[in-house]
A = this chain, B = another copy of it.
Amino acid sequence: MATVLIAGGAGFLGRSMASQLLARGDRVVCVDNFITSHRSELTTLESNPMFTLLEQDICTPIEPNSSIDAVVNLASPASPIDYLKFPIETLRVGSLGVLNLLELARSQDAKFLLSSTSEIYGDPLEHPQVESYWGNVNPIGPRSVYDESKRFAEAATMAHRRTFGLDTRIARIFNTYGPGMRPNDGRVVSTFIRQALLGEELTMFGDGSQTRSFCYVDDLVRGLVSLLDADALLVAEPINLGNPDEFTVAELAALVLDLIDSSSTVVHLDLPENDPTRRRPDISRAKELLGWSPTVSLVDGLARTIEHMAATVL
């Protein structure tokens, strides 16, 4: 049994990770300031005596009441509509917040797991993206508040590993979806499902030929837990976690409309600035080092997500 502090533990991935860790007997200390989540979403978790909540911003130093074995950083606005609404907070949590968590891990002699993102690859010039690819990010674009904060966080994490011998792990998380996403988080999966459920037009950016790879949340979090458990020496460098099955956004829309049996039509909007045209993880490293790969197909995952979201929006 370990005690794991999850920063951003009230978010979509944080709650799922907390559940998986509690299910195997770990203690979870959740730190969240609820900037993009709600305490009400923690009701089930808070009924578990092994779960505790510290309501605070990680940009102020964290002082847990118990000793911590692992620090998992899932804190940040992560959806474009969120980080464009909270640009300064995103910059602060990705820099000062991460430095505070690294300092906490160091003082506790704990492992540190950073959730990084496929966004550090930007609009990639190599395809699929392997971890050795350095990325193609616009440092001054509107999205840079998130992308550059995550690149900074990776640099900070590696610096603590090099300087202090801290046990660090970095996951580069690709698009993830599933039950528990907010219907209005602005991500393409939740947006299409919500719109189709409500019989509204599906808003597609561009012609829908841009590709994405969608990983079901249970698969993704199982990967995060494997990374947390892995031998420290094996996972010194970042590891992609995501589903390598690539779909165009138009294919995703067709699948959602088919599963919901919706007659919604598709309306095309202008592409946002610096929207990546292709995104697909090479997960060879995760397969080899963690024995991990996703198992839930997009059709199955979408069906479960639709069922869950229907209960919320209808």
- Chain A positions within 8 Å of B, measured between CB atoms, are 87-88, 91-92, 94-96, 99, 120, 122, 134-142, 144-145, 147-149, 151-152, 154-156, 158-160, 162-163, 170, 237-238
> Which of A140, A154, A160, A237 has the most C-beta atoms of chain B within 10 angstroms of its own C-beta?
A140
Bound CA span A160–B95, Å: 16
Bound CA span A155–B151, Å: 11
Q: Given A148-B154, A151-B152, is A91 in contact with B136 using a C-beta cutoff of 8 Å?
A: no
CB-defined contacts of A138 to chain B, threshold 8 Å: 134
Bound CA span A94–B95, Å: 9
CB-defined contacts of A144 to chain B, threshold 8 Å: 151, 154-155, 158-159
Q: Which of B92, B94, B95, B159 contacts A145 (CB 8 A)?
A: B159
Q: Which of B94, B140, B152, B238 contacts A149 (CB 8 A)?
A: B152
A150 smallest CB distance to B (angstroms): 9
Bound CA span A237–B158, Å: 30
Bound CA span A4–B163, Å: 36
Q: Name the residue of chain B whose CB is nearest to the CB of A132.
A: B138
Q: Which of B99, B151, B156, B238 contacts A151 (CB 8 A)?
A: B151
Bound CA span A145–B88, Å: 21
Q: Given A134-B137, A136-B134, A137-B134, is A142 in contact with B156 using a C-beta cutoff of 8 Å?
A: no
Of the A-B pairs whose beta carbons lie under 8 Å apart in the complex, a sample of 17, sorted by A's number, is A88-B99, A91-B152, A92-B99, A95-B96, A95-B99, A96-B99, A120-B139, A134-B136, A135-B137, A135-B139, A137-B151, A139-B151, A140-B158, A141-B158, A144-B155, A144-B158, A151-B151
Q: Which of B87, B91, B154, B160 contacts A139 (CB 8 A)?
A: B154
Q: Which of B99, B134, B148 contacts A122 (CB 8 A)?
A: B134
Q: Name the residue of chain B whose CB is nearest to the CB of A164.
A: B88
CB-defined contacts of A135 to chain B, threshold 8 Å: 137, 139
CB-defined contacts of A149 to chain B, threshold 8 Å: 152, 155
Q: Is the CB of B155 within 8 A of A145?
A: yes
CB-defined contacts of A154 to chain B, threshold 8 Å: 139-140, 144, 148
CB-defined contacts of A160 to chain B, threshold 8 Å: 88
A35 smallest CB distance to B (angstroms): 16
CB-defined contacts of A147 to chain B, threshold 8 Å: 155
Bound CA span A152–B238, Å: 19
